[in-house]
Amino acid sequence: MGRKVVVDQERCVGCGNCQSLCPEVFRLDLELAKSQVIKPEGGPDCVQEAMDSCPGGAISWQEG
């Protein structure tokens, strides 16, 4: 039930925008240089900001 935030690991280029804009939900794994979702249920509107600022188009909502 409900939707969750997902980061497509193949599309993520590790820029860190999502973490900067929305640290509650995203964390950049520095070793992998990929963003990890640490709060899949999302949070405030910053998820949308992160989506809009993701150069890889890697962030999306998945209906669950």
Applying CB under 6 A, the residues found at the interface with ligand SF4 are 7, 12-18, 26, 28, 35, 50, 54-56, 58-59
Least distance to ligand SF4 from the beta carbon of 14, Å?
Answer: 5
- Residue 52 corresponds to which tokens in the numbers above? 């809009």
The C-alpha atoms of residue 5 and residue 49 are separated, in whole angstroms, by: 13
Question: What ranges in the chain are assigned the alpha helix state H?
Answer: 17-21, 46-52
Least distance to ligand SF4 from the beta carbon of 16, Å?
Answer: 5
In terms of CB distance, is 34 or 63 closer to ligand SF4? 34
